[in-house]
Chain A
Amino acid sequence: GGFHRGGPPSGADAARRQIASSNRSSGPNSGPGGFRSERQQLLELVGVLGKKAMLPVAVFCFSKKRCDSCADALSSLDLSTGSEKAAVHAFVDRCLARLKEGDRKLPQILRLRDLMRRGIAVHHAGLLPIMKEVVEMLFCQGYIKVLFCTETFAMGVNAPTRTVVFHALRKHDGKNFRYLLPGEYTQMAGRAGRRGLDAVGHVLLVCWGDRDLYGESELRTMLTGSGVKLESQFRLTYGMILNLLRVEDLKVEDMLKRSFAEFHAQRAAPAGAAELAALEGELAAAAAAPWPATALGSSREEVEEYVALCEELEIIDAQLQDALITNKSFQQALVPGRLVLYGNPVNGLTEPAVVLGDAPAPPSPLPSASLTLNTAKPASFAVGTATTSSTGGTTVSGLSGTTATSSAASSDRRLYLLVLHRPGSMDEQHERQAEQERRAREGPGGGGRGFGGMTSLQSRKQQELDDMFSGMVKLGGAKGGGGGGGSGGGPPRPLPVPHYGCEAGIHFCVVADWTRSIVGVCRARIRLDGVDEILSCGGNWTTNAVRRALAAALRGIARTVDEAAAAAGSGGGGELPQLDPRVDFKIADVASVPALQARATLQSRRAALRPHRDPGLVEAFQLVRTRRRLERRSAELRHQLSDASLQQLPEFEQRVGVLQQLGYLAEDRSVTLKGRVCCEIQSTQDELVATEAVFSGLLGELSPEEAVALLSALVFQVLRGVGGAD
């Protein structure tokens, strides 16, 4: 009887079926009768397999002796037809022809020939190499129906079979009996099923008796466990370092590089080198670019300082984002009319803005790969920024080093912001690109009926296509633009943002962005007249009402900013007075408070700089920012490509330090006499101890027996037979 199981629990290969056939009789080793009964069971098993057309079978036994005894147990069985017998005979004859006459009569060969003639064979390490090969070839050709083999057959030879039988599930691994490891099991069971011949491969676990029934937990571990992970076994030892340093040819760094631990890093090296070369070119181009004239005539040094401060602030802002956006008071403070400081991801500047109202979340987040701004942003950053944001429907994540991870987005709000914007060359491009995406999203169905229903599978597919050909496809170009008028009734259509413009002599942009890009909440609020006009304009920015409302709001912001600047005095300052997150939002956790303090000081320092008030800063700022980013990336790459990034290099240096201190290496790392002695000592771990013992005269006074006894403590068992002479 037996019990069947469906697929393997791992579901790894549904075509593999596992049957645990348990023949209930006495165990294999229980007295003289054991062998007989095992023999009967074997015969029965092979008979069943033959009837069910599950031959050929490979039976894995875990000892050579067991293989042979099993094969002998089938002495009465004959599985070959006459023609097969002839073929086997001829093949073996041909193979053995190269042996000497006498050698062909060896007992092992004779025995195996008899077995193979009947379609049975054994395969284990005890066979003569030529016989092993003969067995393998005959098995692959299908002449051998039952093969008793050890584990080696699963490892070296690619010889699949229809059925695999496990004679036992426990094996002796040199130390003790243990269950097969999942990896070993997979390797052997993987032999079942021949490509092109079998629809199904069978794996049978044999239980010879009640005693051999396997526990569920053991089986589960073995069948479903994951294989052994490949790990670098390369360990630095003092002996190795000395041996490497004394030959001129080899560098230890090269050795470390070739270790498996560095495999992935080394494989990425050519790509890194190529990227570095490209970066160098871009850097050279950036350095050659002329310094743009700014309105206040900010010098390069001033802007450098300013950018450095901005970057520091960006880092702090990123730290604070999570604490802020989950804060209730913070969110409550963001009401229409509130003045905020907006960290504009497009140009990297911090700009004053006013909250207009809540914006709907973008319907389907586009992968950020489609958001690359081709000219403004070096293409090489695509790698670094692809992970930064997958949410920003309208943010250009590539330009913002600190855009938060998408995980935060779920709890975040999106707001419409009216930003007092410093115009730059990138604005137009940004707007155009956003427009393109919007159109792509609205899809071929076009018509601008709003986003809600448009996320059908088809349009999403289309969208993916668009992403692939980003910027090249003009889908629904004619329709998408200004069809806003149709959506009179329902919720107001989302504004086509970003929108850049100039009203009442003040440059502005309207954006929709997550609250986490708000880096500061000001005390001031302004009155917003006609904000509804703006929010419901649906892209018609040119109507009088909208223009009036925008102009009023912008004048309000500008006035507040001017007041702040005036209040700070002529000396500088000019940052808008902000709400103190510690007091007003009651943020008091240990991590955030110092960050908030640092942010406040940095912001006031930045506000004191001249470029902060420079309306024409954008171009210069961009130039410096891009260059700095390129430099950072190239420094990073250079480190990765150099030896300094090797994982084990610090350890190597430390060990060299030890060796120098103990006098095994000279200052210039040449190996001294002591080091040479150490090289000759064959010990896995304790070469230093042994060398010190020698040079401290420890062994001098001892009799040979005593010395041997003492040093035996330093010899690892496995090397007992090998290193004894030393």
Chain B
Amino acid sequence: MSAAGAVRVRPHQPGADIALIECGLGVHDAPLSTAFVCVGDEISTEGEEGFLRGHGTQVVDGKLVATVCGVVERVNKLIYVKTLNSRYNAEQGDVIVGRVAEISGKAWRVDLKSRQESKLLLSAVHLPGGVQRRRNAEDELNMRFFFREGDLISAEIQSVHGDGSVALHTRSAKYGKLTHGQLVEVPPNLIKRQKQHFHTLEALGVELIIGCNGLVWVAPLRADRVAAEIGMDAKEAASEATATGPPPSKAQLEVVCRMANAVRVLTRLYMPVYPASIMAVYEAAMDDNVELRDMLEPDFLAVVVKQEAQRRSSAMQE
């Protein structure tokens, strides 16, 4: 590493990024939106008879008052406040990225950075070759063959039990152990729920898993993912790929780092993380010839904010 590439240390300035956003969006003097509430703010219920009090609200002296900071959401007569930041709250069908914490009995305990404890039962994993059979004692002994403690896995939430505990499953070739990539942590509120959370950007050679629990996985596209799509078994292919496959090229790794940094930029600016927004940041960096290590510098953040402001104003005009 040359002297020029040495790590630059910048003193942390609290609120600097926020100021940046305010400056870019011109919101500092905007009228206070009624949709956005702080703790103790009254939520208008005019014109609504018999509303339903939802999460984050409380009735005080006959008035509906927010108990958390966030955005007021209304569904028919239900009024609730969606907080700006919270722990991940599991919902059935979410794609998540989690870390195996321990092996207990017939299940792996997986850390989702969630409010609830989550378990991946042995019976809910995809066996090599996709065979369907009852899991026996031997499988139980071989559980570490699938996932060890500390492994990063992608999975889907199978169900949320009444007591708040979560059951996962990896009953598809696309779920499973994640290796050779980067994990970026994002506040789960920034993750936009979508139809698809697995993305393969073949042009860039990157695969992206946007876990609903706020963990984003960026990795170079590997042959086994392609193989999984054509029906080959991912785990076998993965073991082959890790054993024999060529290591990803430097260029490919740089793309991966850029994508990861794009996610970090969005996190810094507290903007929603979804494929289009990530790509927008990535492309902005490429257009401006921003170095990989400069992507998190204030100069580039300002560019991104400006771009976002433009996008929003044009969206509003439409």
Q: Does A419 contact B (CB under 8 A)?
A: no
Give A672 to B77 CA distance when docked, in angstroms.
15
Q: Does B93 contact A (CB under 8 A)?
A: yes
**Contacting residues, chain A, for B156 (C-beta < 8 A):** 247-249
Give A700 to B59 CA distance when docked, in angstroms.
15
Q: Does A460 contact B (CB under 8 A)?
A: no
Q: Does B273 contact A (CB under 8 A)?
A: no
Which residue on B lies nearest to A666, using beta carbons? B193
Known contacts A676-B91, A679-B92, A696-B76; is A248 also within 8 Å of B50 by CB? no
Which residue on B lies nearest to A673, using beta carbons? B75
Q: Does B286 contact A (CB under 8 A)?
A: no
Which residue on A lies nearest to B172, using beta carbons? A249
Binds A, one of B22-30, B139-147, B176-184, B195-203: B195-203
**Contacting residues, chain A, for B171 (C-beta < 8 A):** 249
B50 A671 Cβ-Cβ under 8 A: no
Which residue on B lies nearest to A691, using beta carbons? B76
Q: Does A653 contact B (CB under 8 A)?
A: no
B52 A670 Cβ-Cβ under 8 A: no
**Contacting residues, chain B, for A245 (C-beta < 8 A):** 195
Minimum Cβ distance to chain A for residue B250 (Å): 33
Cross-interface CB contact of B195 among A663, A668, A679, A695, cutoff 8 Å: A668
A670 B50 Cβ-Cβ under 8 A: no
Minimum Cβ distance to chain A for residue B302 (Å): 30
B78 A695 Cβ-Cβ under 8 A: yes
Q: Does A548 contact B (CB under 8 A)?
A: no
Please report the number of residue pairs spanning A and B whose Cβ atoms sit closer than 8 angstroms.
Answer: 51
Minimum Cβ distance to chain A for residue B11 (Å): 41
Known contacts A249-B172, A671-B93; is A697 also within 8 Å of B77 by CB? yes
Which secondary structure dominates chain A's binding surface? loop
B75 A247 Cβ-Cβ under 8 A: no
A668 B194 Cβ-Cβ under 8 A: yes
**Contacting residues, chain A, for B52 (C-beta < 8 A):** 695, 697, 700
B172 A701 Cβ-Cβ under 8 A: no
Known contacts A670-B193, A697-B51; is A248 also within 8 Å of B95 by CB? yes
Task: Give the contacts of A687-704 with B (CB-CB under 8 A).
Answer: 692, 695-697, 700-701
B77 A248 Cβ-Cβ under 8 A: no
**Contacting residues, chain A, for B50 (C-beta < 8 A):** 697, 700-701
Which residue on A lies nearest to B171, using beta carbons? A249
Q: Does A39 contact B (CB under 8 A)?
A: no
Interface string of A172-208 (1 = CB under 8 A from B): 0000000000000000000000000000000000000
Known contacts A248-B95, A248-B156, A249-B172; is A669 also within 8 Å of B195 by CB? yes
Minimum Cβ distance to chain A for residue B171 (Å): 8
Cross-interface CB contact of A248 among B73, B78, B93, cutoff 8 Å: B93
B93 A663 Cβ-Cβ under 8 A: no
Minimum Cβ distance to chain A for residue B172 (Å): 5
Which secondary structure dominates chain B's binding surface? loop
Give A640 to B256 CA distance when docked, in angstroms.
41
**Contacting residues, chain A, for B91 (C-beta < 8 A):** 676
**Contacting residues, chain A, for B77 (C-beta < 8 A):** 695-697
Q: Does A422 contact B (CB under 8 A)?
A: no
Give A180 to B77 CA distance when docked, in angstroms.
53
**Contacting residues, chain B, for A669 (C-beta < 8 A):** 195
Q: Does A246 contact B (CB under 8 A)?
A: yes
Q: Does A413 contact B (CB under 8 A)?
A: no
Task: Give the contacts of B192-215 with A (CB-CB under 8 A).
Answer: 193-198
Give A697 to B245 CA distance when docked, in angstroms.
59
Interface centre among A245, A247, A692 (most CB of B within 10 A): A247
Task: Give the contacts of A230-289 with B (CB-CB under 8 A).
Answer: 245-249
Q: Does A674 contact B (CB under 8 A)?
A: yes
B93 A247 Cβ-Cβ under 8 A: yes
Which residue on B lies nearest to A695, using beta carbons? B76
Give A674 to B52 CA distance when docked, in angstroms.
14
Cross-interface CB contact of B92 among A246, A670, A672, cutoff 8 Å: A246
**Contacting residues, chain A, for B75 (C-beta < 8 A):** 663, 672-674, 695
Give A675 to B92 CA distance when docked, in angstroms.
12
Give A696 to B51 CA distance when docked, in angstroms.
8
**Contacting residues, chain B, for A670 (C-beta < 8 A):** 193-195
**Contacting residues, chain A, for B73 (C-beta < 8 A):** 673
Which residue on A lies nearest to B157, using beta carbons? A247
Minimum Cβ distance to chain A for residue B93 (Å): 4
Which residue on B lies nearest to A676, using beta carbons? B91
Task: Give the contacts of B79-136 with A (CB-CB under 8 A).
Answer: 91-93, 95
Minimum Cβ distance to chain B for residue A309 (Å): 45
B76 A248 Cβ-Cβ under 8 A: no
Give A696 to B75 CA distance when docked, in angstroms.
9
Give A500 to B73 CA distance when docked, in angstroms.
83
Known contacts A695-B77, A695-B78; is A248 also within 8 Å of B198 by CB? yes
Interface string of A695-724 (1 = CB under 8 A from B): 111001100000000000000000000000
Minimum Cβ distance to chain A for residue B254 (Å): 29
Give A21 to B141 CA distance when docked, in angstroms.
64
Give A671 to B93 CA distance when docked, in angstroms.
10
Give A696 to B50 CA distance when docked, in angstroms.
9
Give A696 to B48 CA distance when docked, in angstroms.
11
Interface string of A337-375 (1 = CB under 8 A from B): 000000000000000000000000000000000000000
Minimum Cβ distance to chain B for residue A233 (Å): 24
Give A247 to B78 CA distance when docked, in angstroms.
25
Minimum Cβ distance to chain A for residue B88 (Å): 15
Give A695 to B73 CA distance when docked, in angstroms.
13
Interface string of A660-684 (1 = CB under 8 A from B): 0001000011111110100100000
Interface centre among A246, A248, A700, A701 (most CB of B within 10 A): A248
Minimum Cβ distance to chain A for residue B134 (Å): 18
**Contacting residues, chain B, for A696 (C-beta < 8 A):** 76-77
Give A83 to B75 CA distance when docked, in angstroms.
79
Minimum Cβ distance to chain A for residue B279 (Å): 16
Give A689 to B245 CA distance when docked, in angstroms.
55
Minimum Cβ distance to chain A for residue B167 (Å): 13
Give A668 to B76 CA distance when docked, in angstroms.
20
B197 A248 Cβ-Cβ under 8 A: yes
Which residue on A lies nearest to B196, using beta carbons? A248
**Contacting residues, chain B, for A671 (C-beta < 8 A):** 93, 193
**Contacting residues, chain B, for A247 (C-beta < 8 A):** 92-93, 156
**Contacting residues, chain B, for A701 (C-beta < 8 A):** 50
**Contacting residues, chain B, for A695 (C-beta < 8 A):** 52, 75-78
Minimum Cβ distance to chain A for residue B50 (Å): 5
**Contacting residues, chain A, for B78 (C-beta < 8 A):** 695, 697
Which residue on A lies nearest to B197, using beta carbons? A248
Which residue on B lies nearest to A248, using beta carbons? B95
Give A673 to B55 CA distance when docked, in angstroms.
12
Task: Give the contacts of A628-676 with B (CB-CB under 8 A).
Answer: 663, 668-674, 676
Give A669 to B93 CA distance when docked, in angstroms.
14
Give A425 to B197 CA distance when docked, in angstroms.
59
Which residue on B lies nearest to A249, using beta carbons? B172
**Contacting residues, chain A, for B196 (C-beta < 8 A):** 248
Which residue on A lies nearest to B73, using beta carbons? A673
Give A246 to B73 CA distance when docked, in angstroms.
21
Give A676 to B194 CA distance when docked, in angstroms.
14
Give A701 to B196 CA distance when docked, in angstroms.
39
Known contacts A663-B75, A695-B76; is A248 also within 8 Å of B51 by CB? no
- 29 A-B pairs with CB atoms under 8 Å apart are A245-B195, A247-B156, A248-B93, A248-B95, A248-B156, A248-B195, A248-B197, A248-B198, A249-B172, A663-B76, A668-B195, A669-B195, A670-B193, A670-B195, A672-B75, A673-B73, A673-B75, A674-B75, A676-B91, A679-B92, A695-B75, A695-B76, A695-B78, A696-B76, A696-B77, A697-B50, A697-B77, A697-B78, A701-B50
By a beta-carbon cutoff of 8 Å, the part of chain B in contact with chain A is 50-52, 73, 75-78, 91-93, 95, 156, 171-172, 193-198
For the complex of A and B, 8 pairs with smallest distance between CB atoms: A695-B76, A246-B93, A247-B93, A697-B77, A697-B50, A697-B52, A249-B172, A670-B193
11 further A-B pairs in the complex, CB-CB below 8 A; given A247-B93, A671-B193, A700-B52: A245-B195, A247-B92, A247-B156, A248-B95, A248-B196, A668-B194, A668-B195, A673-B75, A695-B75, A697-B52, A701-B50
